Amino acid sequence: MIEMTMAERKAFNKREKIIKSAIKIVNRRGYSGTTMEEVAAELLMTKGSLYYYFKNKSDLMFQCNSIVLLEAQEDLKRVLLDESLSIKKRLQEMVFIHIHYAIEENEVFNLIMRPEQLFSEEQLEEVLHLRDEYAAFFDKIIAKGIETKDFNTEDPIMLRMFILGAMNWIQQWYKPNGRLSKKEIQQRFWNYILKLLT
Amino acid sequence: MIEMTMAERKAFNKREKIIKSAIKIVNRRGYSGTTMEEVAAELLMTKGSLYYYFKNKSDLMFQCNSIVLLEAQEDLKRVLLDESLSIKKRLQEMVFIHIHYAIEENEVFNLIMRPEQLFSEEQLEEVLHLRDEYAAFFDKIIAKGIETKDFNTEDPIMLRMFILGAMNWIQQWYKPNGRLSKKEIQQRFWNYILKLLT
Amino acid sequence: MIEMTMAERKAFNKREKIIKSAIKIVNRRGYSGTTMEEVAAELLMTKGSLYYYFKNKSDLMFQCNSIVLLEAQEDLKRVLLDESLSIKKRLQEMVFIHIHYAIEENEVFNLIMRPEQLFSEEQLEEVLHLRDEYAAFFDKIIAKGIETKDFNTEDPIMLRMFILGAMNWIQQWYKPNGRLSKKEIQQRFWNYILKLLT
Amino acid sequence: MIEMTMAERKAFNKREKIIKSAIKIVNRRGYSGTTMEEVAAELLMTKGSLYYYFKNKSDLMFQCNSIVLLEAQEDLKRVLLDESLSIKKRLQEMVFIHIHYAIEENEVFNLIMRPEQLFSEEQLEEVLHLRDEYAAFFDKIIAKGIETKDFNTEDPIMLRMFILGAMNWIQQWYKPNGRLSKKEIQQRFWNYILKLLT
DNA sequence: GATGAATGAGAGTTCATTCAT
DNA sequence: TATGAATGAACTCTCATTCAT
């Protein structure tokens, strides 16, 4: 979107590679369990080098969080604005997307449990802002559905929190080879959600 | 329940006091943010002394988890077995209890996010067992409700996971002086749950 | 002066031992050249142990500075209040004391060159306060001498700065086996100072 | 003085620019507080480039020191050799020059507090040599003054050390907006010095 | 000439854990 | 029982230095 020289692009790519790597580690070890050393090792770098790309650990963690959230937002937005789909279908897609991220990017997703402890004030503000934006996508489609009488509920905000909570929690018990596949979970959760909304 | 000498009882009490203190700290700082130092300080002890009562930090954390879960189990059991109440009423009470714990004992409750990282294999087994037991209380009442036609759902296990997830997540956004009081949240969540079950 | 239990006294002594050790290192390496590692090694401890006694490096450095300055203040005060000595004799003694410290405790004395960079605001305030107090001892005896007509000068503050500066600088060139001994330097400097004051 | 090709001259100029920049930083941050990064940033370069012009940090610091000292020497020499001025007047000018440098180039001037720590043996030798040369200018004019009976003192070397020390120390307490201006300080210090010399 | 990138040694700091008393 | 003291491993972060391009 923004013009970059070759060198800038290269640096940008490297930064992204690091973030992707860090995301993997965070998903395995959690935030405080992740060490700069391990992130570096995964990339065959030395930890000192990471500081060329990121101010400090908290900065790196912050960017991990942002990148995942922004990606998910992109996916949601595409569906939200796709007028070829019915309201219900759109929400369903969004639910599927959310569950996908909750399962695949379990720790990093919107799941920093105590972000106040990890992030600087400035970062925290943006983290919370990103989360709000994310949630707003769901609010929007629900509001539309209420307008069109597809959905019906009082206090849609609280209901959205109920629903997102249920989905976020999946990562706590999901196991790749469990009784139900990701697809089946998505389908059943969607059924519950639909029931709540009508 | 078990016979104890005076000395044993004294030690037992002390252990409990330490756990209660630790729970407070964990709720404030999270697991990895909790230091033995701070736990000891809260009790006007030195951290060395803690090791007389607990093998190590992980042991202390484990007991924190257990005590909260056992307490909550006690509360649930009392309601579950109270035949003077209707099935629905009983589940409602249980929901209220669960939300109460999720809010008041937010971090410790059933919420060690990645227990594999914190606990030894042995401990982990028990942690997971306790969780299962806990969840089973809900399964039981739901099963009863299905029998009596109070409730109606296929795959009650999955639905229970949906519901517990939604409730567990409350701690992520609950603020003591938020728009809705604990009581109001309990009520609304109960409404949603009832809708899902009928 | 203050009541202490055995244990407290022991800790106090240890702390003092560490400070004394640190002072040696600082005199050898300068402030930023001093590492916690080396201070610990000198005492056959590990650097981690230092943190049992001092909050951080800056705290240790601060206490080094304070202890030397306070000791020197004690020495000065004893002379200043010794009414059995003439004013001139008292100032002479004080000059000798100052030169002694400047030579023997060269780096730590009042000589942190850029204290703003090393100390926290709080510490800095006390450091500067201690320095001011120290200088005030000289101001007092000079003021007395002016009263008694022993001394004669306008702007005694500026003159005191001139004199202390000259003495402080000794550490920059003093060598134990140089042309003049400490005693001779003290005597000559006193001659110059007397000339300036009369 | 020495023939240079265009390219050499260009490099020479660049080197000087870097030194000037470095001097600024050193005056602000002290020797060990100065980073190659910051020096480079001030010049909109990258720190890697500095190594094209200087072997290492110590080399750069060394040249900073030299350049300031050589400049000051130039100034002193001009006055020293100006036979149109009286001996006293000449010394007065030299004192003013010295105080000027002590205030304006506070950290770099002759003030590397522990040069043994920073410089290689080779460099150290030259640093000390430059300092001696510098001091010798003062020795020369004082010697002349003694010859002409303008001044009178035994051990003029020691007295010169006393005087230079007093002046060097100014940087420890001088503040741009203090009670006395630079000019006033220069005047008073000159009065003291004159008193010492007659 | 200049730079982006990487390195590696070492610094300060934290903290669970141990143990003699 | 309790503690003061010490430890050591691990961690974050800094920075002078190098080098291919």
pLDDT at position D11: 82
pLDDT of D17 strictly over 90: yes
- Residue A147 sits in the same domain as residue A184: yes
Nucleotides of chain E touched by protein CB (<7 A): 1-20
A81 or C119, greater pLDDT: A81
Residue A49: CATH number of its domain: 1.10.10.60
pLDDT at position A31: 86
- Residue A94 sits in the same domain as residue A23: no
Ranked by mean pLDDT, the top range of B63-72, B103-112, D79-88 is D79-88
* D48 domain-assigned: no
How many domains is chain A built from?
2
Residue D100: HSE in the Cβ half-sphere, 13 Å Cα cutoff? 14
Distance from C-alpha of D28 to C-alpha of C114, rounded to nearest angstrom: 10
Which of A97, A55, A40 is CA-nearest to residue A72?
A: A97
Q: Which residue has the tokens 């010295």?
A: D98
**CA–CA–CA angle C102, C104, C110 (5° rounding):** 35
- Residue A46 sits in the same domain as residue A62: no
Distance from C-alpha of B61 to C-alpha of B57, rounded to nearest angstrom: 6
Q: C-alpha dihedral over A64, A70, A74, A79, to 10 degrees?
A: 100
* B112 domain-assigned: yes
Which of D7, D121, D131 is CA-nearest to residue D65?
A: D131
Residue of D nearest to C160 (CA): D166
Average pLDDT, stretch C93-106?
A: 92
Q: Which residue has the tokens 């209220």?
A: B96
Contact B92, B190 (CB under 8 A): yes
Distance from C-alpha of C101 to C-alpha of C134, rounded to nearest angstrom: 13
- Residue A78 sits in the same domain as residue A172: yes
Average pLDDT, stretch B62-91?
A: 95
Residue A177: CATH number of its domain: 1.10.357.10
* Predicted confidence (pLDDT) per residue in D75-101, tens digit: 999 999 999 999 999 999 999 999 999
Is it the case that chain B and chain A have 3 or more CB pairs lying under 8 Å apart? yes
Q: Do A107 and B114 touch (CB under 8 A)?
A: yes
Q: C-alpha dihedral over D161, D163, D167, D170, to 10 degrees?
A: 90
Rounded-to-5 percentages of helix, strand, coil across chain D? 75, 0, 25
Distance from C-alpha of C19 to C-alpha of C60, rounded to nearest angstrom: 7
Distance of C1' in E17 from CA in B40, Å: 14
Whether chain D has a CB inside 8 Å of the CB on C72: the answer is no
Average pLDDT, chain C: 91
Range of the domain at C129: 56-197
* B84 domain-assigned: yes
Whether chain C has a CB inside 8 Å of the CB on D191: the answer is no
Q: Which residues of C touch D187 (CB under 8 A)?
A: none
* B184 domain-assigned: yes
* B81 domain-assigned: yes
- Residue A61 sits in the same domain as residue A47: no
Q: Do B163 and A166 touch (CB under 8 A)?
A: yes
Q: Which residues of D touch C185 (CB under 8 A)?
A: 158
pLDDT of D113 strictly over 90: no
* Predicted confidence (pLDDT) per residue in B134-180, tens digit: 999 999 999 999 999 999 999 999 999 999 999 999 988 899 999 99
Q: Do B192 and A188 touch (CB under 8 A)?
A: no
Asked whether the CA dihedral B3, B9, B12, B16 is positive or negative, the reply is positive
- Residue A90 sits in the same domain as residue A142: yes
pLDDT of C111 strictly over 70: no
* C66 domain-assigned: yes
Low-confidence ranges of chain A (pLDDT < 70): 1-4, 107-116
Of B155, B165, B180, the CB nearest to A166: B165
Amino acid, single-letter form, for residue C59: D
Whether chain C has a CB inside 8 Å of the CB on D128: the answer is no
Angle of helix D156-168 relative to helix D182-197, nearest 10 degrees, comes to 160
E strands of D54-140, at which residues?
Answer: none
Of B29, B155, B196, the CB nearest to A195: B196
A2 or C23, greater pLDDT: C23
pLDDT of D122 strictly over 90: no
- Residue A70 sits in the same domain as residue A149: yes
Best mutation target, B162, B186, B191, B196, to test chain A (most A CBs within 10 A): B162
- Residue A49 sits in the same domain as residue A81: no
pLDDT at position B3: 67
Residue at a domain's end among A54, A71, A96: A54
pLDDT of B110 strictly over 60: no
Of A33, A165, A189, the CB nearest to B117: A33
Q: Do B167 and A164 touch (CB under 8 A)?
A: no
